[in-house]
Structure 1
Amino acid sequence: MFAALAAVAIFTGFVDAIAGGGGLVMMPALLATGMPPHFAFGTNKLQSVFGTTISCANYTRGGLVDWKGNWPLAVLVFVASASGALVVQQVSTRILAYIIPVILLMMVAYLIFSPRMNDEDAHERLSRVGYTPVAGGIGFYDGFFGPGTGQFFTTSLVALRGNGLIRAVGNTKLLNATTNWAAVLVFALSGKMIWLLGLSMAAGAMLGGYLGSRFAMKHGARVVRPLMIVASLGLTGKLVWDWFVS
């Protein structure tokens, strides 16, 4: 089981590094082992954080992460994600399973029809300060529920901050790695994490994250854009399917 899940983590790390949505595959795989949902969520965050961190390092080396401009947002989303991870252990996430597919479909429409989804930076519609409520909301959502976080960060950075698509993906990895570390800390302190399994999967996630980020930087928006559409539609389909079987 450890070897199989580590292999799955290579694939999900690769997908996450490019388009997000790796949890679409990993969470069902973890739940199929029979572990309780909160342990599956915590263990998934543990393996995922290594993949997003490696991806962030790769995008940084490629000059696609604005650390100076985004470190205040990173602090904000860390706190927001930690808060979400605390809250989710007390309440049901069922209502989000009904809301998120609608948001994802709206995002897919933007990905398909917006002429701004390319590698060219554009004029920002929101300042860094104006973007903080958006970033904080996405950070809280990642700690609380999670699916689609990468897509939400990337699409909002393109639409609201004027980032080119591949630069938005790079900055997303900084913010997403931060939210993952916050959630890992909370779930670890809460004792809802299977360490040996999570760390075994982390090796696969790191390899996948490294390969995926290199692939995205090489091919740019012409590959990232369709993969984001496919990942978002897949995630939407999975959540809608859960409506009918639950």
Structure 2
Amino acid sequence: GGGGLITLPALLLAGASPIEALSTNKVQGSFGAATAALSYARAGQVDLHTQRVPALIALIAGLFGAVLATQLPSETLHLIIPVILIGVALFFALKRGLSDEDQVQRIKPEVFMALFVPLIGTYDGMIGPGAGAFYMIGFVTLAGYGILKATAHTKLLNFSSNIGGLVIFALFGATWWFTGIAMGIAQVAGAALGAKLAVRVGANVIRPLLVITSVALALRVFVQML
């Protein structure tokens, strides 16, 4: 998780406008989320029938978030994106790992679906990085899902809000399709390699590398603006 913390500032540094970077990042992000969501569904971890409404809400929220992003001046987005990226990176650095011991249902499913899903879906459509972690935390600590079930449902909603955002950005003609598809294919391949690396070296090594790299890239975007 957290790949958008690296790919989004990398796209900005490559010369993409904020909207182009956000849109192209959604293309590559959709590959990974779709692949994972389908895998979990085939394994019976996600009931697509009962999750149609939450997925639709996430999709609509993603549409709304992307519309908000397109209404902001490019200069404003260029300023707030690195700030958000650094904030999310610090969140990844400081948050503790979840376990099945955290699963306590604190709110009713209807409340979770009506309040939490639209909130994270809007953020995902507007900016994106860290949305999967936010969905995951909500599913475990608010909805009371176990880790496996929470992960499976996170991928479904993450994909839905990603697609919602991408639709709006694509309508504005702001997508680098070739770049996004190439990044998406690389992400699918990288996921397999990353899983093996994670098993070998552990999260205690990978997490600091993710945080340091993403903060450095975000700071480089700031410097580029000067």
TM range (shorter): 0.7 to 0.9
The one-character-per-residue Cα deviations of 1:140-171 (angstroms, maximum 9, x if unpaired) are 01111112101100111111011122321111
Residues 69-89 of structure 1: CA deviation (Å, up to 9, x unaligned): 332111111101111101101
CA shift, 1:109, in A, is 5.1
Aligned to 1:83: 64
Question: Unaligned 5+ residue runs, structure 2?
Answer: none
What does residue 26 of structure 2 align with?
A: 45
**Alignment match, 2:174:** 192
Select the residue among 167, 176, 182 that pairs with 2:149. 167
Counterpart Cα distance in 2 of 1:107 and 1:160: 19
- In structure 2, the partner of 1:68 is 49
What does 1:1-246 correspond to in 2, within 5 Å?
20-91=1-72, 92-93=76-77, 94-95=79-80, 98=83, 111-112=96-97, 117-119=98-100, 122-132=103-113, 133-209=115-191, 211=192, 215=195, 233=211, 237=215, 241=219, 245=223
The amino acid of 2:142's aligned partner reads L
Q: Compute the displacement of 1:67 (Å).
A: 2.5
Q: Distance between the aligned counterparts of 2:139 and 2:210, measured in 1?
A: 16
Q: Which amino acid aligns with 1:32?
A: L
CA distance, structure 2, for counterparts of residue 199 and residue 173 of structure 1: 19
Q: Could you tell me which amino acid in structure 2 is paired with residue 111 of structure 1?
A: R
TM-score normalised by the chain length of structure 2:
0.78
Q: Distance in 2 between matches of 1:203 and 1:146?
A: 19
Whether contact under 8 Å (2:105, 2:144) holds in the other structure is: yes
Displacement of 1:105 in angstroms is 5.1
- The worse-fitting range, judged by mean Cα deviation, of 120-129 and 45-54 is 120-129
Q: Tell me, in whole angstroms, the C-alpha distance in 2 between the residues paired with 1:118 and 1:62.
A: 21
Secondary structure at the aligned position of 1:45 is classed as helix
Distance, in Å, in 2 between the alignment partners of 1:212 and 1:67 is 28
TM-score by length of 1: 0.72
Letter in 2 for 1:188: A
Cα distance in 2 for partners of 1:240, 1:88 equals 18
What is the aligned-residue RMSD (CA, Å)?
3.3
**What one-letter code is carried by the residue in structure 1 that aligns with 2:49?**
K
Unmatched runs of 5 consecutive residues or more in structure 1? 1-19
| Identical-pair percentage | 31
Report the count of equivalent residues.
Answer: 216
